[in-house]
Amino acid sequence: MTDTTAYDYVIVGGGTAGSVIAHRLTADPGVTVAVIEGGPSDVDRPDVLTLRRWMGLLGGDLDYDYPTTEQPRGNSHIRHSRARVLGGCSSHNTLISFKPLPSDWDEWEEAGAEGWNAAAMDPYYDKLLNNIVPVDEKDRNAIARDFVDAAESALGVPRVEGFNKKPFHEGVGFFDLAYHPEDNKRSSASVAYLHPVMDERPNLHLMLETWAYRLEFDGTRATGVHVRTKDGAERLVSARREVLVCAGAVDTPRLLLHSGIGPRADLEKLGIPVVHDLPGVGENLLDHPESVIVWETNGPIPDNSAMDSDAGLFVRRDPGSRGPDLMFHFYQIPFTDNPERLGYERPAYGVSMTPNIPKPRSRGRLYLTSADPEVKPALDFRYFTDEDDYDGRTLVDGIRIAREIAGTEPLAGWLKREVCPGPEVTGDEELSEYARKVAHTVYHPAGTCRMGAADDERAVVGPDLRIRGLDGIRIADASVFPTMPAVNPMIGVLMVGEKAAELLGGGA
Ligand SMILES: Cc1cc2nc3c(=O)[nH]c(=O)nc-3n(C[C@H](O)[C@H](O)[C@H](O)COP(=O)(O)OP(=O)(O)OC[C@H]3O[C@@H](n4cnc5c(N)ncnc54)[C@H](O)[C@@H]3O)c2cc1C
């Protein structure tokens, strides 16, 4: 028997964007909001709340853990971590915090997202409640400091103290992080937006460990969400005003497709009744792929850190590029998970640089393989398939640049040998082969329900985040990104949440 309860707004996903919207809407005590969240609470969970423990969450009980399809030019073994816990991926990511660059937002507007240009979006950064601060002095490891010095002198890029202070094309330095340095506690979306209000606001209803498996429609109007609770009970949670889908770049298109919203032929092939033919759902799957180069160090390195990858580098190889076209995270650990599959060993002590592609050109696709909502969707990123091999070539350049930095003091003095790919691997072809086979993800899937202009038939939402052709339903999460920001996307997602709340009249 289906039990029904009604709220003004029903938010699917208490993750990064969903937490922001829930906070803003419930600031009005007259508005009721239900948040349907697949995972448990993060309150009193040091395993979640301690930033430096992030790696321990990958692949575990709090991870939906999505595989990729066969990647002929990439690494078919990549697992895409997606958090199953309040706060979503902001509760198990590394909380590196970059305001998207002005060129990133302007590119969105050029792609049809009217009103999402840099000048219009800037104020939403100032609204964010997260504690965004530079990596604390006590967390700045000696080898990471020497990486910054070496990159500055090897490449002549400026040293940046506070990447969010002004737009940049190039630079090296310690990141800004959303954390509380005194106890290494996350300042995730849930910590910043939900913890302070969740026991105070009777109009905020958190439905934890509850899975949304289908959207309910009356004609073209969304009226609610079918959910299954932890104990297997099924309910229809009704929305008097609107449904907000904030389940992330994988689970938002997944839910839409299971609800009959997507490319007609694909849905019919699986026997899913078509509610609304929307060809763009699941298309435009974006990510930031990265490769890795690992060195053994002469011995142990100091242990202090915020989260083991506290500094990074942006390079602009093409002066015509609107922003950086190569980015590196510096890890003060040997990150050999992928190279080990090719036979490389993991040194006892080591460091890594992970070149990644800020503006990748390959485009993938998410699709269903079964009408059973329990079956995970297929993620085909089509890594390194762009026509000119821009993506593959970028990683090759990245390995060469990483070697230049490693050969420069004061970093050079720490390093005993290059473990992988190894100094003997030097040619374009062999570097490309290595870089692609050990490629990993920076865990930034986006774009699968992209925003676009009203007359763009491949767009899934309009600039007001409403799903094209439907009423009473919007999407707000990483899936609406028309293009990938050059920087790590979480702050962009939080700003999407803030703008969505304002569009709904909940700007408080
Ligand atoms: C390991 C890792 C490291 C990262 N590091 C960084 C970083 O340092 N900096 C950065 O900028 N970005 C980083 N990212 C990316 C960033 O965290 C994400 O882009 C962003 O958090 C996505 O936000 P979202 O709101 O789209 O989705 P999410 O935050 O994933 O929220 C989706 C929520 O919906 C829930 N949900 C999904 N489906 C359902 C359903 N059917 N029913 C009920 N609930 C559902 C999920 O449990 C989740 O809570 C990282 C990501 C990962 C995984």
The DSSP annotation for 364-410 comes to BEEE-S-S-TTSPPEEE--TT-STT-HHHHHHHHHHHHHHHHHTSTT
Distance from C-alpha of 215 to C-alpha of 259, rounded to nearest angstrom: 5
The answer to whether 104 and 483 have CB atoms below 8 angstroms apart is: yes
Q: Which residues pair with 212 in a beta bridge?
A: 227
Atom number of ligand 1 nearest to Cα 487 = 11
Q: What is the pLDDT of residue 4?
A: 59
Residues annotated in a binding site for FAD = 85
Intervals of the chain under pLDDT 50: 1-2
Cα gap 170→438, rounded to integer Å: 26
Contact yes or no for 75/436 (Cβ under 8 A): yes
Ligand 1 near 448 CB (within 6 A): no
Q: What are the tens digits of pLDDT across the range 14-54? A: 999 999 999 999 999 999 999 999 999 999 999 999 999 99
Residue to probe by mutation, ligand 1, list 11, 57, 93, most atoms within 8 Å of CB: 93
Strands 211-218 and 221-228, bridge-based pairing? antiparallel
Residue 5's pLDDT is: 85
The helix/strand/coil state of 244 is strand
Q: Whose structure tokens read 């070496």? A: 150
Cis peptide before 421 (omega within 30 of 0): yes
Rounded to 5 degrees, what are φ and ψ at 475?
Answer: -120, 135
Residue 390's pLDDT is 98
**pLDDT at residue number 1:** 39
176 pocket-lining for ligand 1 (C-beta < 6 Å): no
- Neighbour tally for 480: CB within 10 Å: 31
CA dihedral 476, 477, 480, 482 (to 10 degrees): 130
Residues 247 and 262: beta-carbon distance below 8 Å: no
Q: Which residues contact 67 (CB under 8 A, 6 or more apart)?
A: 78, 79, 80, 376, 379
Q: Which residues pair with 159 in a beta bridge?
A: 172
**309-339 as b/e, with b when 16 or more CB fall inside 10 Å?**
bbbbbbbbeeeebbbbbbbbbbbbbbbbebb
Active site residues: 444
pLDDT at 2: 46
Separation of CA 42 and ligand 1 centre (Å): 14
Indicate if ligand 1 lies below 6 Å from the C-beta of 148: no
Q: How many CA atoms lie within 13 A of 473 on its CB side?
A: 27
- Model pLDDT for residues 218-272, shown as the tens digit of each residue: 999 999 999 999 999 999 999 999 999 999 999 999 999 999 999 999 999 999 9
Distance CA 254, CA 281 (A): 9
Point out which residues pair with 246 in neighbouring strands: none
Domains observed in the chain: 1-133+185-287+363-383+444-508 (3.50.50.60), 136-174+289-359+386-438 (3.30.410.40)
Distance CA 505, CA 51 (A): 33
Q: Is 402 exposed, middle or buried (0-12, 13-18, 19+ CB in 10 A)?
A: buried
- Strand 3-12 relative to strand 234-245, pairing: parallel
Whether the full predicted model's pTM is greater than 0.85, yes or no, is yes
Q: Among 434, 431, 443, 424, which residue's Cα sits nearest to residue 401?
A: 431
Does the beta carbon of 38 sit less than 6 angstroms from any atom of ligand 1?
A: yes
State the Cα–Cα distance between residues 503 and 483, nearest whole angstrom. Answer: 21
19 lines ligand 1 (CB under 6 A): no
Residue 345: predicted pLDDT:
96
List, as residue ranges, the binding site: 85
Residue nearest to atom 47 of ligand 1 (CA): 84
Which numbered atom of ligand 1 lies nearest the CA of 249? 26
